[in-house]
Copies of this chain bind each other. A is one copy, B any other.
Amino acid sequence: MQSSERLNLTFAALADPTRRAILARLATGEATVTELAVPFEMSQPAISKHLKVLERAGLISMDVDAQRRPRRLETKGLKEAVDWIERYREIFEQNYQRLDALLGELQAKPSRRKRTHK
């Protein structure tokens, strides 16, 4: 898979609060589908779908234990997302400092340029 494609899957997976909650739960240790479903007002198939999304993104993996299918966290998928976001974080922060400087300048010597921040 392309790096860009994996980033799509990872960020999309993280965009859902149910899935983030599942990851938070799995951070405390592995859990079965039934266990994961308990906190949510949602059917079991819905949870299974979320788990499939997380698995495709490489954020979790599955064990086989009799009729149980416990899930656990996986670092693979997250690594790349972290890398991407970290890479831009610096630039974002540099940019922020530049903006601060600019705003200071504008306050000292106002022009017709307006800033919308809605």
Residues of A within 8 A of B (CB): 4, 7-8, 11-12, 14-17, 20, 23-24, 27, 55, 61-65, 72-75, 78, 81-82, 84-86, 88-89, 91-93, 95-96, 99, 113-118
Given the interface pairs A15-B15, A116-B61, the reply to whether A95 lies near B72 with Cβ below 8 Å is yes
How many copies of this chain? Answer: 2
**A23 to chain B: closest CB distance in Å?**
7
Q: Looking at chain A's contact residues, is the secondary structure mostly helix, strand, loop, or mixed?
A: helix
For A115, the chain B residues whose CB sits under 8 A away are 61, 63-64
Asked whether A61 lies within 8 Å of B117 as measured between CB atoms, the reply is yes
Cα–Cα, bound, A118→B76 (Å): 13
**Chain B residue with Cβ nearest A5:** B17
